[in-house]
Amino acid sequence: MAFEEIERELRERLAELQRRMASIKHDASREYPTDSAEQAQERENDEVVDAIGHETAHAIREVTAALERIGDGSYGICESCGESIGEGRLRVLPQATRCVNCAE
């Protein structure tokens, strides 16, 4: 099975995730207002931004790992049983590391 289309989509996804992470880092580096009520609201917002940042970092690691597997020829092989993951699953979840049976 050829993975050129999936690789292209993964690279596009990685670029989008990296842009999102840069935006999150920019937001996290801003200064707080001097008003204590506004400051409290900003700190609550920081918790949300932090959670989104962790989720984005995790997604970047998954996509990067999938691209590495494409590069080394192990992409599409289940890490649990060694069988093919299946093109349908990879199209839906391109960062998948396990086949449907092992993922359950």
Over the stretch 46-64, which tens digit does the pLDDT of each residue have?
Answer: 788 888 999 999 999 999 9
Tell me the helix, strand and coil percentages in the chain, rounded to 5. Answer: 70, 0, 30
Structure confidence at residue 27 as a pLDDT band (50, 70, 90):
confident
The verdict on pTM exceeding 0.75 is yes
Over the stretch 65-85, which tens digit does the pLDDT of each residue have?
Answer: 999 999 999 999 999 999 999
The answer, yes or no, to whether residue 44 has pLDDT greater than 90, is: no
8: tokens are 């292209």
pLDDT given for residue 2 in this prediction: 74
- Determine the residue type at 27: D
DSSP-derived secondary structure letter, 94: T
The answer, yes or no, to whether residue 1 has pLDDT greater than 90, is: no
